[in-house]
Amino acid sequence: MAKLITLGSHLNFSSLSSTKFIKELNLDVDISYEHSIDSAFKALLGADYLVLPIENAIDGYIQRTLDLIYKYDYFITHVNELPVDFSLVTNEVSLDLVDTIYVQFKAKNQCLNFLESLPKVKYIITDSNSESLNKLLTHEISSAAIIPKHLIDRHFLLTIHNIHDDELNHTRFAFIEKHPTMPKDKEHLKALLSIQPRKDEVGLLYNLLQHFKNLNINLSSIISRPKTDKTSPYHFFLEINTKLDQLSELTTRLASDNQLNIKILGVY
């Protein structure tokens, strides 16, 4: 049987997204859980599929996911979205008695307005929402946790719902495979590209964007990320709205530009 890797436990958002992918794609797989994005990518070496968060409506792209897709030469073939809401839970009767909050690193960035109202509280960052809950249950005195509402499966003395910064908060998840697979039936697509300039020079970004304008391709996002090797000081991650023929023409034009290295990281 095929094996799918994702984060945390069977109750977190990554698991819910994985279940949604399994139904949509009619897969027969076993799900295995990893504690971090890095360990999940390593586990895919011995598995078939990987499901990870790629973008949050409030906090933006999960940059570690992007960096490791590039590093491992993996490929996004599908995406889905889940609504995300967060609650604070504690077995203290008042927030005044709380001095420590356990919170997953991305969840913290989605609840900043609430957390700024608690300036004296210490935050302990975790790798997953499940870990935040487990740490609270192990260290309940003077502690609280920020977790998704659907993880609340017991009574707490104090629960505060909907503490995220935006009511329309949602997270997009990527279905990642080890080898490229191009969609056959969809006309309107998104693609994720990595473009690495071979050298830095004035007007480089302007000249790059001209390729997209000339082909009438909408660029929905662009992120500049530092490179860890010495071939270039940075590279760009770009997500575009496109069609397969447009994407083919774009990659041909970019590849012919001697100043650029291009890699397609996903089409979905």
Q: Can you give the pLDDT at residue 31?
A: 97
* pLDDT tens-place string over residues 152-210: 999 999 999 999 999 889 999 999 999 998 887 778 899 999 998 877 778 778 888 88
Q: How far apart are alpha carbons 122 and 40 in whole angstroms?
A: 28
Q: What is the pLDDT of residues 54-108, one digit of tens each?
A: 999 998 999 999 999 999 999 999 999 999 999 999 999 999 999 999 999 889 9
User: 3-state DSSP call for residue 111?
Assistant: coil
Instruction: Choose among 136, 103, 100: nearest CA to 120.
Output: 100
What is residue 231's predicted lDDT score, i.e. its pLDDT? 61
Buried b / exposed e along 69-90 (16+ C-beta atoms within 10 A): bbeeebbbbbbbebebebbbbb
Q: What is the pLDDT of residue 61?
A: 94
Q: Specify whether the CB–CB gap between 154 and 89 falls below 8 A.
A: no
How would you write 156-198 as a 3-class SS string?
Answer: CCEEECCCCCCCCCEEEEEEEECCCCCCCCCCCEEEEEEEEEC
Kindly give, in sequence order, each residue whose CB lies less than 8 Å from that of residue 240, ignoring residues fewer than 6 positions away: 190, 191, 193, 212, 217, 218, 219, 220, 247, 250
pTM: 0.84
- In the three-class reduction of DSSP (H, G, I as helix; E, B as strand; rest coil), residue 136 is classed as helix
pLDDT confidence of 116, banded at 50, 70, 90? very high
Are the C-beta atoms of residues 267 and 77 closer than 8 Å to each other? yes
Among residues 12, 1, 82, 81, which one has the least CA distance to residue 40?
12
Backbone angles phi, psi at 131, to 5 degrees: -65, -40
Contact 98, 121 (CB under 8 A): yes
The pLDDT of residue 133 is above 90: yes
pLDDT at 202: 80
pLDDT for the residue 230 = 61
What distance in Å separates the CA atoms of residue 38 and residue 51, rounded to the nearest whole number? Answer: 13
Most confident of 10-14, 40-44, 192-196: 40-44
By mean pLDDT, which of 8-12, 15-19, 69-73, 97-101 is the weakest? 8-12
Per DSSP, the three-state class of 2 is strand
Q: What is the pLDDT of residues 242-259, one digit of tens each?
A: 999 999 999 998 888 777
Look at residue 171 in the predicted model and tell me its pLDDT: 95
* Residue 35 DSSP symbol: S
* Rounded alpha-carbon distances, angstroms, from residue 28 to 8, 20, 41: 20, 13, 21
From the CB of residue 98, how many other CB atoms can be counted at a distance below 10 Å?
20
Residues in the chain: 268
* 39 pLDDT above the threshold of 70: yes
